[in-house]
Amino acid sequence: MRRPGQGRQNRRMRSLLAHPSYHAGVRAGVPVAVAGFVLGISFGVLSEPVVGPVAAIVMSAIVFAGSAQFGAVAVLAAGGDVVAAVAVLLNARYVPMGIALAPSLSGGPLRRALIGQGMVDFSWAAAAREGGSFDWRFMLGATTPAYPSWVGGTAIGVLAGDLVGDPETLGLDAIFPAFFLALLLSGEASAGRRAVVAALLGGAIALALVPWAPPGVPVIAACVAALIGLDHAARRRPGALSGGKAG
């Protein structure tokens, strides 16, 4: 039986898939999905001896968060029992990321929560537009190719791990930082002097914390750098002489 509103949902889905922003996102996401595929293979190779073949693949399919998955498996392999804490820390950056995304989303809580599931570091960052808004259709498009490649890569790593070498010997672990650097240097959201200051400050905070803070904490702490925006906002109170756009 069709639920009321289901036709509307289907129309919305069709219009999303036909939207130019979604298509642009998919195109931007394909090269990253290739890198994600290789990373998925390495996750499959690493996790299979720890959690078994089925759980490794199911984990990639329903968790879909690379850093949290690697972190959780590392804790399990070491016999630790703080898996949940590690997973929360390694995913915690999605809270500020989701808050930043939220004003660009419309519709009810369920719809917004569903769109939030499409957040991945690179697709979120690539969908950031000047002035703090987000192109959520672009984000979902960029995440689309990453999902099958992450899950498929995991499956191949699990099933054919012995045939595939260690991704680190190929230097593939340098791909994601290099990609994020390209996004940072060319992205719409990092234009302007304040963005440069926020990036330098965020990077410095992370660097200071990496040697001793638990994984995940350096990235979360770096969000504090965005607070320099408050100073700018304070100087642009209504009534102050400020014409035009923020510089």
Partner 1 sequence: MSDVWITVGLLALTSLAIRASGPIALGGRELGRSASAVIELLAPALLAALIVVQTVGGPDGLDVDARIAGVAAAAGVLTWRRSAMLAAIALAALVTTSVRALT
Contact set for partner 1, span 125-184 (CB under 8 A): 125, 128, 131-132, 168-184
Residue 128, beta-bridge partner list: 134
Q: Is 84 in the site for partner 1 (CB under 8 A)?
A: yes
Residue 134, beta-bridge partner list: 128
CB of 17 to partner 1, least distance (A): 20
Nearer to partner 1, 1 or 75 (CB): 75
Q: Is 49 in the site for partner 1 (CB under 8 A)?
A: no
CB of 201 to partner 1, least distance (A): 7
**Residues 11-30 interacting with partner 1 (rule: CB under 8 A):** none
CB of 34 to partner 1, least distance (A): 10
CA distances from 111 to 24, 115, 117, 145 (A): 22, 6, 10, 21
CA distance 224 to 146: 29
CA distance 51 to 240: 60
Sign of CA dihedral 214, 172, 163, 145: positive
Contact 178, 34 (CB under 8 A): no
Q: Is 80 in the site for partner 1 (CB under 8 A)?
A: no
Among 234, 239, 243, 245, binds partner 1 (CB under 8 A): 234
Nearer to partner 1, 1 or 212 (CB): 212
Size of the site for partner 1 (CB under 8 A): 105
**Residues 201-230 interacting with partner 1 (rule: CB under 8 A):** 201-203, 205-207, 210-212, 215, 218-219, 221-230
CB of 238 to partner 1, least distance (A): 8
Quick one: 181 exposed, middle or buried, by C-beta within 10 A (0-12, 13-18, 19+)?
exposed
Nearer to partner 1, 19 or 176 (CB): 176
Q: Is 189 in the site for partner 1 (CB under 8 A)?
A: yes
Quick one: 7 exposed, middle or buried, by C-beta within 10 A (0-12, 13-18, 19+)?
exposed
CA distance 223 to 242: 27
Q: Is 51 in the site for partner 1 (CB under 8 A)?
A: yes
